């Protein structure tokens, strides 16, 4: 009996070892060889850890060096340092590794258009890891596929269409008004005062979401946003290392679970409170007053200029540095044969700064470039392209335009000497050290 048990144990160990060799060595090197034959190189696979150490080193170096004065808008090396470095070494399309999983990075507008505009279900979002799923919502719009995604998309698009957003304008204006009143208190009669606009706008966005979604205010939903900010910090740390299984009782895993439970509980309290709150969605008079008061004899030209300025700012400082899709079967893109389930990392920020698409002045702020048709549809896609275009685009643009319009009516502003130009990716692109602005009251 004993020899049989020993033999069985040895057999099990051998099977496990063979599976490990297969998944850790054979499959990655086979994939790497497949792309090498097509002329695609990269930093090279390292067993188990992939390129995690190099990624962490590049990100750490990038965040340690703010952009020196005079400021410029060439920010790729700070917000997407891996793509910046590896594309210089291996070309604009290259292969790198997240643990034992391959990633194919690219920025070719033609390939990006083919991927994002596909309506046949050939390319899906990459399945979220457990931490990202917690942060963005399990079974939410960003993760769903097929018919379930289509049904949720129709509901979301209807809820966030322009007519609905117009109905929220009074609530958005109320949030902005509250913020500006606090600024007046901060000014305390002085001609000039300084604000960290990054923090102010974060709080403003949270207040607008609270009012439009839950019918409450930022103060009521404040705990949710504080918890989500902590959750984002932990998620950012998680993605900079080789993932640790969620079932292990590490300190970070325990904290992530605690945050998730508290966030869910707090949101349900807001939902219940919203059900019991009287709703008033019919007041739209302010919208007509607001739009008429913004118009002058050059109203349409003024609107066009604002749109161009916003588009150029978003092009240079795209909030999301990359979009990710996976082919559900083997596919050919351009001249590349790509195996099924290979994540495609579409470098949005690199495409937005590409001199081939935007000219030699691609890193300069020039809103007039949007007065002419773009050379390629996928040269500018901050909201995505195709069927999965961001459903919150209308709300975001209306919010930004209203904020700008209401601020410039009361204040002039310049960068503070305390400002440090250091854009960084923290799930989205944000100023690493805040955005200190000096404001001066406009006297009527």
Distance, CA of 425 to CA of 427 (rounded, Å): 6
Annotated binding site for heme: 390
Write phi, then psi, for 253 (nearest 5 degrees).
-65, -40
3-state helix, strand, coil in the chain (%, to 5): 55, 10, 30
Distance, CA of 429 to CA of 431 (rounded, Å): 7
Q: Are 98 and 50 in contact (CB under 8 A)?
A: yes
The DSSP symbol for 367 reads: G
Q: Are 162 and 394 in contact (CB under 8 A)?
A: yes
Annotated binding site: 390
The CA-atom distances, in angstroms, between 25 and each of 39, 101, 136, 245 are 21, 11, 33, 21
Distance, CA of 70 to CA of 418 (rounded, Å): 14
Bond before 70 cis per omega within 30 degrees: yes
Q: Are 106 and 345 in contact (CB under 8 A)?
A: yes
The CA-atom distances, in angstroms, between 31 and each of 50, 124, 233, 440 are 13, 20, 33, 59
The DSSP symbol for 279 reads: -
Structure tokens at 265: 């509980």
Closest residue by Cα to residue 243 from 101, 411, 432, 69: 101
CA angle 225, 226, 227 (to 5 degrees): 90
Structure tokens at 104: 């194919």
Closest residue by Cα to residue 84 from 266, 322, 421: 322
Residues whose CB is less than 8 angstroms from the CB of residue 224 and which lie 6 or more positions away in sequence, other chains included: 263, 266, 267, 270
């Amino acid at each position: 009996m004993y020899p049989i048990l020993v033999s069985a144990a040895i057999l099990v160990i051998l099977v496990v070892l063979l599976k490990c060799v297969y998944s850790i060595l054979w499959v990655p090197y086979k994939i790497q060889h497949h792309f090498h034959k097509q002329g695609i190189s990269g930093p090279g696979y390292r067993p188990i850890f992939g390129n995690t150490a190099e990624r962490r080193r590049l990100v750490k170096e990038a965040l340690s060096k703010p952009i020196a004065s005079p400021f410029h808008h060439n920010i790729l090396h700070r917000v997407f340092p891996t793509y910046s470095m590896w594309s210089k070494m291996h070309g604009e399309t290259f292969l790198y590794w997240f643990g034992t999983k391959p990633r194919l990075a690219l920025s070719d507008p033609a390939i990006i258009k083919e991927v994002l505009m596909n309506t046949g279900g050939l390319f899906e979002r990459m399945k979220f890891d457990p931490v990202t799923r917690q942060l963005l919502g399990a079974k939410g719009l960003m993760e769903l596929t097929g018919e379930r995604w289509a049904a949720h998309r129709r509901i979301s698009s209807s809820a966030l269409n322009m007519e609905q957003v117009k109905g929220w304008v009074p609530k958005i204006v109320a949030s902005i008004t509250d913020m500006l009143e606090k600024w007046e208190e901060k000014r305390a009669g002085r001609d000039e005062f300084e604000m960290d606009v990054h923090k102010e706008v974060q709080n403003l966005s949270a207040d607008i979401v609270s009012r439009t979604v839950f019918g409450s205010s930022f103060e009521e939903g404040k705990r949710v946003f504080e918890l989500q900010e902590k959750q984002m910090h932990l998620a950012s740390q998680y993605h900079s290392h080789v993932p640790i299984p969620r079932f292990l009782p590490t300190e970070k895993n325990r904290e992530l679970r605690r945050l998730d439970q508290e966030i869910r509980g707090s949101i349900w309290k807001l939902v219940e409170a919203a059900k019991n709150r009287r709703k008033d969605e019919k007041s739209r008079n302010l919208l007509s007053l607001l739009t008429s008061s913004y118009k002058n004899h050059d109203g349409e030209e003024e609107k066009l200029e604002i749109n161009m300025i916003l588009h150029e700012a978003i092009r240079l400082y795209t909030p999301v540095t990359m979009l990710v899709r996976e082919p559900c079967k083997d596919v050919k893109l351009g001249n590349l044969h790509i195996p099924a389930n290979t994540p495609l990392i579409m470098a949005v920020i690199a495409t937005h700064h590409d001199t081939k698409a935007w000219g030699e002045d691609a890193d300069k702020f020039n809103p007039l470039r949007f007065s002419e048709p773009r050379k390629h549809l996928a040269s500018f896609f901050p909201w995505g392209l195709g069927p999965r275009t961001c459903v919150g685009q209308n709300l975001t643009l209306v919010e930004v335009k209203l904020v700008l319009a209401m601020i410039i009516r009361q204040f002039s502003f310049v960068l503070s000497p305390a400002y440090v130009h250091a854009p960084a990716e923290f799930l989205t692109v944000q100023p690493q050290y805040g955005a200190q602005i000096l404001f001066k009251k406009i006297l009527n």
